[in-house]
Amino acid sequence: MIQTTLLALLAFSVGLALHLRWHPRRRELSDAWDFLRLRQPLLWLIAGTSLLNGLEPEKGFTWVELNDWRGLWLPLVHRAFTEFALLFHVLVPPWPLALLLPLLLVVLTIRVWRWPYRYGERMPVPEQKLVLIALTAGSVFWSGLEAVAFFRPELPEAVQTAKLAARTFYAALMAAGVQVWLVRLVIAYEKPPDTEADRDAVAALESTFARWQGVAALGGFNLLWMAWRSWIVTQNGAVAWVLPELLVLFAALPLAVAVSAGRSRFWHAGAVALKVLGRGLLVLITLGITAVALLALAHYTADMGLALTAETGLWRGVAGVLRALALAMLHGWLCLAALLAMLRHGFPSSSPDDKSPAP
């Protein structure tokens, strides 16, 4: 059985290699690989947060299940499809990266007060300032709770509940910020603002600050699907396919927020996202089929490596780190290729900017 499995993996790998050689979206795949190769800190960020957060909630397949690969293809495809759908929303896991959010919110609040016209068409109204202050103060209070809980694990149940609720909320907000920052980084790669490439990450962060209201609304959207996913992860059958389909449907939503001028309402960004997805749907489908096949092959191979090293603690730890690095590289490559494809095919111009963001 193991010989048959290895031969099937070899044949599948050769077929995918030939498929990528003549892929209709090979330009986006090639550019995404160059992007990831030139910005290696992004790869380490994805891999590091994945290792700290736990790459995925469900366990890998056992050795017995892996040997029955003919009966494993449907759950493997579902797992790969779900993972591909999640890439648009949480390529970089928001926890424990969200612990940096209080500092970022404090910096944003100071900058909004000091240079209000850089963050909107008009000076922020008092209600907007109050929302920003509440978000910042709440994040500082939550980080204090996390610090207390780290040194004193035995906290009252009410305090633990409040801490977990705040962690979920600010993780969703951090996920939205990282989404917009990543798209702005890709736009800087497509249309460099200046000749200094080392400044792209800082410029992308500044652009994300300028869209803080859209990021906050996107964080609310993230909170909804994250809460839904925590419930639906235990579901089987047709219900388990609903959330990934919705996440693919809203794949262009972070992109629409990122290319807006920072003054549009969130519902307008949603309308733009649907138009972008409609224009780039065929391209996204062709990339999605390849991505699902690659992710299924990668997970099958990685789980087999973990199963073979199950009895040896040291080698299993090494296999886990290598698995995280390989999947982080694959996740970043596929997500960046999809973002490049939607940017190029979903907008009237080849390189969208703040002057003409909407279709």
- Residues 67-113: tens digit of each pLDDT: 666 667 777 888 888 888 888 888 888 888 888 999 999 988 888 88
Length of the chain (residues): 359
The pair of structure tokens assigned to 152 is 């004193």
Which segment of 55-64, 72-81, 308-317 scores lowest on mean pLDDT? Answer: 55-64
In angstroms, what CA-CA distances link 289 with 166, 282, 304, 331? 37, 11, 23, 14
> In angstroms, rounded to a whole number, what is the distance separating the alpha carbons of residues 315 and 119?
51
pLDDT greater at residue 190 or residue 66: 190
Rounded CA separation 108/122 (Å): 17
Tokens matching residue 272:
């733009």
Q: What is the pLDDT of residue 289?
A: 85
The pTM (predicted TM-score) of the whole model is: 0.80
Question: Do residues 183 and 339 touch, judged by C-beta distance below 8 A?
Answer: yes
pLDDT in tens, 210-264: 888 888 888 888 888 887 777 666 555 566 667 777 788 888 888 888 887 655 6
